[in-house]
Structure 1
């Protein structure tokens, strides 16, 4: 019989379950619920409300109800046409026997088959299964909602139900309701029902999604839970910087899948944008398994998708995890992935019972007893609690993706979006510590800007160039960069700044490359470079000392390039912290990050980190130097420290550097070569040469700065350029040369 044949009150529900036909099985179950409710009170009588009496009167023939005591009372009410607010009715032993034995359920309905599949998959008890079915029907099917409203006094379209009301329809009194609490908690822990406050409950979105399917075949249910395999946008080459971790993870997961190992839980942790989620998808491809992301439940029914388009709750994710872990054990090679895992674990390990958000025992067992391997992903592993962390089989820390990886990501997205990036933009983008998602956003913005510029140019008529006014400074002849590159770099940098990320602003790629012929060092830099090139793989350390601008940092970066290592540059501001112990922790983190990512670590202003302990006045001044010394001795990769004041560095630290290089001001010959190179001259006049030789101290950075300044101002005259160099020298401490420009 269709549900319209049974009184159900107003119809405002939009759930697909609200359209469930009340066929023979559902009609029989509705009759059973009603009989239980009408005979639930102990003793020889029951108190009924007007709403309950009216429901009985409207539906007794349709459902097949016949309780003599209530029938007699209704006859008197109809004769007098007077409905009482409350009425006491005698209930006989025969009435109770009818409620207990007379309702024989026919063949299962499609809804019940899906409920039975849920119960079987999650190994629910008979009581738990009955309770879940009652919660679903009393909140989703109008005919059952109307029955619930008659006994609860709520609206007939209410989408939540009190636990006591459920117990009444299941034939349980108050004692039975107390026993049901443990079953309710079990259903809640599994994420099958969600708590709506006080003692009210409703089925979770995951349960509703499964029950709303048009079929109860296991293959369809499996597809609803697992969906189509997700493919990673990255490749193994993108994780070259963590090659050992990739191998370990693949081996462990492959072994767990082959041996059907229970409790194979792995932890992926690290800063946002380091590729944790993409690697989880990729690892499934590597071991021939499907990765299922918990909380993401695709469905082909667009109406259902519209209803469920919300962020999954903790209950949604737990139920999806519970279903998927049980089903995965029967399906084949499945890896479950719980992203933002701290959302479901936070508070579980709290010592304060009042602040716990779930059962500690249940959550620990969830990790230990999962039939399928589970990857838990978090940015904050400390929020999971020690008890959870101890149960992880392997923990993988993710550091920011390498510069080479970013270049590959840039090229892939640029090609996909048809964006042409110049070499300068590609290098600058790759130097920004951006995730693949931010890189894609920057390149997409560049594509939009480029298309808009093309449209504007097509609408602007050509015109004759304005004649330069007399005496006007000539504009620099620099080549104009394509707009795509400018936009991409600017957009990604803005997104990094908005997210609170900081990064090293390296010298522009337009700056001249390091030239050892222009650096006045106390060691043959070319010979040192050649030996280092041959000693690749050694643990090398360099202390580079000298005046500002003499090329110390540039030489350190050059060494990294020679050894084909990316750079991790740290300054004192990156290391020093306000609280005791934090500076030491930052020092350790810098060395660990360099070791994990295989990068060349450079400490600028090293004298602030390695100051002599002889003049130390506070304990932390000594402890931070000790921390540096410890890591310097054990660091497996090359690193360098630059300083303008080597005499301030602790003697023990100086001894630990394998190479100590002193950079002085340029010689006269070097200054002349620099003048020709930076200002693009084939020769220099005798008068200018003599004037140049009187300028001391000059450094490569002086020439680089004056070169940019003269280009901007359009100055090409030798005398004016020399005057600008004189000004730079005169501005240095202790200089006595008069400014000539």
Structure 2
């Protein structure tokens, strides 16, 4: 790039900038850097600012000067005769030059103090400083200095970013300089000469001071400065050749071009990365199993938005698909707030991972700090909040600057939700900085039923709804996606839709190692009635008593199929409370101490949800400690007893092996009720109901009473099993139904008469 003899502009001889409207500013900056800075780029017809060794650059410049001195008639003016270039350059080495005094009165274009010192120039007829002053004078003569240097819409965009992020004039000028340098090739190549990786903020401040013609403090580019702390500027530590790889601008390099060429607001600029949340699909009633949502979260958020309290952060955790994201949307709508979601990283951003997410969040914090009733949410925040020590061993992300994150969390002006599937690896020092820590577990049965009815109620049968409600591993998100698939399949037959639903959901649970969809046998029987339960306890009276006091510990024991679990399900329904049912497979762990932790979590889950807690097959955990052979068998019993005593709600335990229960455990139950085989009149009544359901007449039942009375080990479960079997092996008469009952009874009697092996 050379100055013309008219001294009014620079003529570009290198690459085209590809950016229209910025030449005036770029030319001025390049001139200042060349003249006032200790810069030694090599100038030629092909490029500007290519990185070459000092000796090579010096040699080429002196060759050009010597050629001009030996050809005084080559141009009409001194400037043209001494133009810097390589045309017809001689191979003369500057160390061999003897006629340095010839250069004393030479007039050159853009020159360097270093060159003058090396070759002995004492004075320059048209010194570059005067040229710079002329440009500055012309610049000041414009009515609007910024308009002359920065064309629209770039000028308005820079002003909008400055207002949004609270930038000073110096910070705004620095941002504009770096943006133009990214797209103006000559200026870009010149800046690539500098080693900013080594010089850091100090060197960047020096270069901008020279280019902009005013003192630029190094503090502008410090970590605490607005440019760096907001993420508008990031200095890469690695030494890179390309300028694009040395600086990251605006937190989104790919979008920078839009700031140069089109009118765009900061909100629109970041709209692909900071997204306005869609309307919530759930209501607060769908989170009734988490009382803290209504009692704490909603009123607290409403208050902090009103008072504009800073440093407000809410940590929400729980298994995938439990509705954490929906909860944030529902909460925002409940208090009339706008919610913005920090979008996920693209593949190209994965390398920077944590820093990219923090940068994006920090930008959102600054962007919406003055907005009325605004909330932010960072989904899948594990890459930011987890320590990562374990994950790094296996190639996962590692958080490197805990202090920085802790500080940002404490001063954040916009309340933020942080969502994560697990707290494993999270620094306790960070956890204590959250105002509210809230777990979102798998919803209890009554909520799951409501969600299932809402999502697939018009697609599948009532039996399938029951099975969905029973699954303690099925998340709302999985149900919703399954409903969408079934609807798209457009199946006309309800049975086919049921089969599709079961296939899809069981496959999803299987893939997550969560078992399969519960069978129909786990649902409350269609004909459930406490009148068909043989027990001395007043079952309906117990229900009324629990409604009054809201707490109690019940042990239900007796043979399999007598209705123990079904009664607990009925009890929860009558009380209008969620049911959390745990079996041995849900609570037993392969790790020492794991079972105790799962038992504790089950009680905590029920406490949070205000649910009735059922532990089926409780003899697995309450086995007589005198029979224990290992220490962990004792600690499991101890843990369950401790949790029972401190649990403020309703706890039910069922067992088929009452005789194996620890004696100390029995006294901790407020009620122990035995469920026995059906009495004769109960068998008759239940038979009539099932025959009616199957469309069979009850006319011949009286003739079967004698045979039915002889079946002394029949349970309600036997009737339910025979009815299920009729789906694939139809029953034609009451006689056939009774015959199947007799077969079941005979099998039980045979088992009871069979001698035991052992001593």
TM-score, normalising length: structure 2: 0.74
Q: For 1:212, which of 258, 266, 274 is the aligned residue?
A: 258
**Partner of 1:273 in structure 2?**
321
**Partner of 1:476 in structure 2?**
none
**Partner of 1:495 in structure 2?**
508
**Partner of 1:428 in structure 2?**
467
Which has the higher mean CA deviation after the structures are superposed, 190-199 or 540-549? Answer: 190-199
Q: Residues 711 and 537 from structure 1, CA distance in 2 versus in 1: closer, same or farther, beyond 3 angstroms?
A: same
Instruction: Summarize deviations over 1:170-195 as a string: whole Å, max 9, x none.
Output: 6569xx9xx89973797666434567
**Partner of 2:741 in structure 1?**
725
How far, CA to CA, are the matches of 1:365 and 1:489 in structure 2?
A: 49
Q: Residues 576 and 647 from structure 1, CA distance in 2 versus in 1: closer, same or farther, beyond 3 angstroms?
A: same
1:632 counterpart SS class: helix
1:730 counterpart SS class: helix
Q: Residues 218 and 571 from structure 1, CA distance in 2 versus in 1: closer, same or farther, beyond 3 angstroms?
A: closer
Deviation for aligned residue 1:726 = 3.4
2:377 counterpart SS class: strand
Which protein, 1 or 2, shows the higher relative CO under an 8 Å CA cutoff with sep ≥ 6?
A: 1
Q: In the alignment, does 2:248 pair up with 1:203?
A: yes
Deviation for aligned residue 1:589 = 0.4
How far, CA to CA, are the matches of 1:661 and 1:445 in structure 2?
A: 46
CA RMSD, aligned part only?
4.6
Q: State whether residues 277 and 341 of structure 2, in contact with CA within 8 Å, keep that contact through their aligned partners in structure 1.
A: no
Q: State whether residues 706 and 721 of structure 1, in contact with CA within 8 Å, keep that contact through their aligned partners in structure 2.
A: yes
| Structure 1, unpaired ranges of 5+ | 12-17, 58-66, 154-160, 298-305, 455-479
**Partner of 1:606 in structure 2?**
618
Q: For 1:91, which of 115, 118, 124 is the aligned residue?
A: 115
How far, CA to CA, are the matches of 2:676 and 2:33 in structure 1?
A: 94
**Partner of 1:567 in structure 2?**
579
Q: How does 1:356-505 map to 2 (within 5 A)?
A: 357-410=399-452, 412-413=454-455, 420-432=459-471, 433-450=473-490, 453=491, 481-502=494-515, 505=518
How far, CA to CA, are the matches of 2:201 and 2:92 in structure 1?
A: 25
Deviation for aligned residue 1:198 = 2.8
Instruction: Summarize deviations over 1:619-642 as a string: whole Å, max 9, x none.
Output: 222222121112112212212111
**Partner of 2:38 in structure 1?**
40
Q: State whether residues 14 and 44 of structure 2, in contact with CA within 8 Å, keep that contact through their aligned partners in structure 1.
A: no
**Partner of 2:531 in structure 1?**
517
Q: How does 1:56-75 map to 2 (within 5 A)?
A: 72=65, 75=68
Instruction: Summarize deviations over 1:513-555 as a string: whole Å, max 9, x none.
Output: 32323322132434444x347x345202211111111111111
1:610 counterpart SS class: coil
Deviation for aligned residue 1:567 = 1.9
**Partner of 1:183 in structure 2?**
222
Deviation for aligned residue 1:395 = 1.6
Q: State whether residues 726 and 737 of structure 1, in contact with CA within 8 Å, keep that contact through their aligned partners in structure 2.
A: no
1:284 counterpart SS class: helix
1:578 counterpart SS class: coil
Deviation for aligned residue 1:340 = 2.0
Q: Residues 585 and 78 from structure 1, CA distance in 2 versus in 1: closer, same or farther, beyond 3 angstroms?
A: closer
Deviation for aligned residue 1:54 = 4.3
**Partner of 1:157 in structure 2?**
none
Instruction: Summarize deviations over 1:325-374 as a string: whole Å, max 9, x none.
Output: 22323233222222222222333899x9xx96343322111011112222
2:711 counterpart SS class: coil
How far, CA to CA, are the matches of 1:144 and 1:279 in structure 2?
A: 50
1:494 counterpart SS class: helix
Deviation for aligned residue 1:654 = 1.0
Q: How does 1:101-250 map to 2 (within 5 A)?
A: 104=136, 106-107=145-146, 108-109=149-150, 111=154, 114-115=157-158, 118=161, 122=165, 136-148=179-191, 151=193, 171=206, 183=222, 190-193=230-233, 198-200=238-240, 201-204=246-249, 206-208=251-253, 209=255, 212-213=258-259, 214-215=262-263, 228=276, 230-250=278-298
Deviation for aligned residue 1:243 = 3.6
How far, CA to CA, are the matches of 1:584 and 1:656 in structure 2?
A: 18
Deviation for aligned residue 1:398 = 1.5
Deviation for aligned residue 1:5 = 8.6
How far, CA to CA, are the matches of 2:623 and 2:191 in structure 1?
A: 77
How far, CA to CA, are the matches of 2:388 and 2:726 in structure 1?
A: 65
Deviation for aligned residue 1:393 = 1.6
Deviation for aligned residue 1:603 = 0.8
Which has the higher mean CA deviation after the structures are superposed, 230-239 or 545-554? Answer: 230-239
How far, CA to CA, are the matches of 1:78 and 1:692 in structure 2?
A: 116
Deviation for aligned residue 1:593 = 0.8
Q: State whether residues 706 and 724 of structure 1, in contact with CA within 8 Å, keep that contact through their aligned partners in structure 2.
A: yes
Q: In the alignment, does 2:721 pair up with 1:705?
A: yes
Which has the higher mean CA deviation after the structures are superposed, 690-699 or 620-629? Answer: 690-699
Q: State whether residues 544 and 641 of structure 1, in contact with CA within 8 Å, keep that contact through their aligned partners in structure 2.
A: yes
Deviation for aligned residue 1:318 = 2.4
Q: In the alignment, does 2:595 pair up with 1:583?
A: yes
Q: Residues 409 and 91 from structure 1, CA distance in 2 versus in 1: closer, same or farther, beyond 3 angstroms?
A: farther
Deviation for aligned residue 1:712 = 2.2
Instruction: Summarize deviations over 1:646-668 as a string: whole Å, max 9, x none.
Output: 11111221112122111222223
How far, CA to CA, are the matches of 2:30 and 2:528 in structure 1?
A: 85
Q: State whether residues 612 and 651 of structure 2, in contact with CA within 8 Å, keep that contact through their aligned partners in structure 1.
A: yes
**Partner of 1:259 in structure 2?**
307
Which has the higher mean CA deviation after the structures are superposed, 420-429 or 362-371? Answer: 420-429
How far, CA to CA, are the matches of 1:127 and 1:137 in structure 2?
A: 15
Deviation for aligned residue 1:446 = 1.4
How far, CA to CA, are the matches of 2:510 and 2:67 in structure 1?
A: 74
Q: State whether residues 562 and 675 of structure 2, in contact with CA within 8 Å, keep that contact through their aligned partners in structure 1.
A: yes
Q: Residues 446 and 510 from structure 1, CA distance in 2 versus in 1: closer, same or farther, beyond 3 angstroms?
A: farther
Q: Residues 263 and 170 from structure 1, CA distance in 2 versus in 1: closer, same or farther, beyond 3 angstroms?
A: closer
Q: For 2:381, which of 316, 336, 341 is the aligned residue?
A: 341
Q: Residues 349 and 125 from structure 1, CA distance in 2 versus in 1: closer, same or farther, beyond 3 angstroms?
A: farther
Q: In the alignment, does 2:26 pair up with 1:26?
A: yes
**Partner of 1:457 in structure 2?**
none
Instruction: Summarize deviations over 1:429-464 as a string: whole Å, max 9, x none.
Output: 4444544432222122112222xx56xxxxxxxxxx
How far, CA to CA, are the matches of 1:119 and 1:627 in structure 2?
A: 60
Q: Residues 52 and 663 from structure 1, CA distance in 2 versus in 1: closer, same or farther, beyond 3 angstroms?
A: farther
Q: Residues 51 and 191 from structure 1, CA distance in 2 versus in 1: closer, same or farther, beyond 3 angstroms?
A: farther
Q: Residues 282 and 70 from structure 1, CA distance in 2 versus in 1: closer, same or farther, beyond 3 angstroms?
A: farther
| Structure 2, unpaired ranges of 5+ | 2-9, 51-59, 70-84, 97-111, 118-123, 140-144, 209-214, 241-245, 755-759
**Partner of 1:475 in structure 2?**
none
**Partner of 1:156 in structure 2?**
none
Deviation for aligned residue 1:410 = 4.5
Aligned length: 661
Deviation for aligned residue 1:700 = 1.8
Which has the higher mean CA deviation after the structures are superposed, 133-142 or 365-374? Answer: 133-142
How far, CA to CA, are the matches of 2:476 and 2:308 in structure 1?
A: 34
Q: Residues 368 and 309 from structure 1, CA distance in 2 versus in 1: closer, same or farther, beyond 3 angstroms?
A: closer
Q: For 1:659, which of 664, 671, 695 is the aligned residue?
A: 671
